[in-house]
Amino acid sequence: MYGNRIKIYAFADEAGSEISAQISAMKRNGLCGVELRGTEFGNVSDLSPERARGISSRLKAEGLEVWSVGSPLGKIGINDPFGPELEKLKRTLETAEILGAKNIRIFSFYIQKGEEEARRAEVIDRLCEMARIADTPATGIRLCHENEKGIYGDNAERCRDILDSVPNIVGVFDPANFVQCGADTLAAWKLLKDKIAYLHIKDALADGRVVPAGKGIGNLITIVGEYIAAGGRAMTIEPHLTVFGGLSALEREGERSKVGEVYTYPDSNSAFDAACNALKEILSGIEA
């Protein structure tokens, strides 16, 4: 639809947990592929090599690619044991290589509010160790830090700190997550844009309710336009427009996303299609 200029991917598990349902949703919306997160076999970071190879074959047969692995790495408390997380990272790197993904989405650990600065050194040390393990030129896989509610990198300043302090880590910019943290998305974009690898397409209202792209206060139209003008080509649609089965497993208690009542849909496929159409509407305006 947009030629080679724009590559649109999605968290297709929001259309359905099974890979067959995800393929169907991506195909009917003309997407390039998936940021793989959930499957009927569980979270992507828990896939066996055999499962990963099977998924890769099915996607390739449909002309779809795995752009990024939407892992939960770093979505643990800063006080939680780190060893198991490093083992999960190693498995996820192997999975990403099997899938042909060049990106792995990560987070920067849940921190008790008010303790961010006191725990900064520990966060940076952990991320540096993760980056060291992932720094394998043969695979060319990047770790991509996403801003998220409740983690160290929940605001633009701490995201910038991470991206400046940790070698070989780039950023994923999620406007809705910044809105839900009370941040000005344009100010955040200005501070971070030179370190951003790709966008998560998700918008929100001032009260935190998630709405289609361009319908909230996340300044999606401006940010997407500037990203493309600067040479950005990849973005992942993350609908969050209905409460789907896996959402509660993705967010910590007390950090739940609110869902906008105005934008509710009869089923997950309708919500997924609405999210895709909202981005396409923005892109059409930019193309024009």
Please tell me the predicted confidence (pLDDT) of residue 4: 59
pLDDT at 256: 53
- Distance, CA of 204 to CA of 215 (rounded, Å): 8
Question: Residue 265: what pLDDT?
Answer: 85
- Is residue 49, in this structure, part of any structural domain at all? yes
Does residue 1 fall inside a structural domain?
no
Total domains in the fold of the chain: 1
Structure tokens at 244: 């789907």
Residues linked to residue 199 through DSSP beta bridges, in sequence order: 173, 235
Q: Is 130 helix (H, G, I), strand (E, B) or coil?
A: helix
Give domain status of residue 246, yes or no. Answer: yes
Instruction: Tell whether 2 is covered by a domain.
Output: no
Do the beta carbons of residue 5 and residue 282 sit within 8 Å?
no
pLDDT at 137 (0 to 100): 79
Residue 251 lies in a domain: yes
In angstroms, the CA 216 to CA 210 distance is 8
In order along its 288 residues, the chain shows pLDDT tens digits of 454 579 999 999 999 999 999 999 999 999 999 999 999 999 999 999 999 999 999 999 999 999 999 999 999 999 999 999 999 999 999 999 999 999 999 999 999 999 999 999 999 999 999 999 999 877 899 999 999 999 999 999 999 999 999 999 999 999 999 999 999 999 999 999 999 999 999 999 999 999 999 999 999 999 999 999 999 999 999 999 965 444 455 556 555 555 445 678 888 999 999 999 999 999 998 865
Round to whole Å and give the CA distance between 46 and 52.
10
Beta sheet of 203-204, edge-to-edge order: 203-204, 209-211, 258-259
Beta-bridged to residue 200, according to DSSP, are: 236
CATH number for the domain harbouring residue 120: 3.20.20.150
Count the neighbouring beta carbons within 10 Å of the beta carbon of residue 145.
26
Q: Please name the helix (run of DSSP H) or strand (run of DSSP E) that holds residue 203, with its range, or none.
A: strand 203-204
Query: Do 46 and 78 meet the contact criterion of CB atoms below 8 Å apart?
Result: no
Retrieve residue 97's tokens: 């290589």
**What pLDDT score does 260 carry?**
47
Instruction: Please enumerate in sequence order all residues whose Cβ is within 8 A of that of 12, keeping only pairs 6 or more positions apart, or say none.
Output: 21, 22, 23, 25, 26, 31, 34, 272
Q: Which domain holds residue 30?
A: 7-287
Asked, for residue 258, whether it belongs to a domain, the answer is yes
In a domain, 256, yes or no: yes
